[in-house]
Chain A
Amino acid sequence: GENVEQHPSTLSVQEGDSAVIKCTYSDSASNYFPWYKQELGKRPQLIIDIRSNVGEKKDQRIAVTLNKTAKHFSLHITETQPEDSAVYFCAASVRSQGNLIFGKGTKLSVKP
């Protein structure tokens, strides 16, 4: 079945710097790749997603890139702010199934 690997597990940046989180997936039939932000004790919140027919998507300071050949996708956060501090999860969904397979998460700390 699908397996999603996420790196790094922790990431510390200075406010204003960029942060990049990378994920790889194993099943070439995966066609949907969302990213969730989870603050401590809160629900995971969808922040951006990308479908397999697109290579890049941007929403203000957040962007996601997808390389289907290499089976990896990345989250890019520019001009980081302290409120970006949270755990970020990538996930993949296989075309024939509905459920998401999640990476283990990246704890992002943005230092003022």
Chain B
Amino acid sequence: GAGVSQSPSNKVTEKGKDVELRCDPISGHTALYWYRQRLGQGLEFLIYFQGNSAPDKSGLPSDRFSAERTGESVSTLTIQRTQQEDSAVYLCASSVTGSSNQPQHFGDGTRLSIL
């Protein structure tokens, strides 16, 4: 079946603009995760959705970052007033459930460049 789908694949924007990144999880997966990967670095957890529970926002680096998820489907990650340090690849993953021992499957990511 289809994997995790993310759009756009690349986004270039000017400092100070808002951006929206989209993630379509694998059908039937109830848990959805956003991670950030700076160039040459590991993955940094941002936010996690599990079913209808309140999201775990503990990884969001500032209040300029927010995310929403409609039911158990699409999620959007919004970055307001972008800064150059926001430049990174934003990766989305989904898993069957939010249980801590379930495999997470990643999308191809959105490469965000802030000029």
Contact = CB atoms under 8 A, between A and B. Distances in A.
Interface residues of A, number: 27
A22 interface: no
A55 to B, nearest CB: 16
Contacts of A93: 100-101
Contacts of A49: 103
A100 to B, nearest CB: 6
Given A98-B56, A99-B33, A103-B42, A44 B101 contact: no
A100 B108 contact: no
B91 A32 contact: no
B43 A43 contact: no
A102 interface: yes
A103 B42 CA distance: 6
By secondary structure, the A interface counts as: strand
Contact of B100 (A43, A89, A98): A98
A23 B40 CA distance: 18
A63 interface: no
B43 A98 contact: no
B59 interface: yes
Interface residues of B, number: 26
Contacts of A43: 91, 106-109
A93 B43 CA distance: 13
A98 B42 contact: no
B99 A98 contact: yes
A60 B45 CA distance: 30
Given A43-B106, A97-B56, A51 B101 contact: yes
A61 interface: no
B100 A95 contact: yes
Interface in A14-65: 31-32, 34, 36, 42-46, 49, 51
Contact of A44 (B43, B44, B48, B50): B43
Given A44-B91, A93-B100, A95-B100, A100 B105 contact: no
A31 to B, nearest CB: 6
Interface of B: 31, 33, 35, 41-45, 48, 50, 56, 59, 91, 95, 98-109
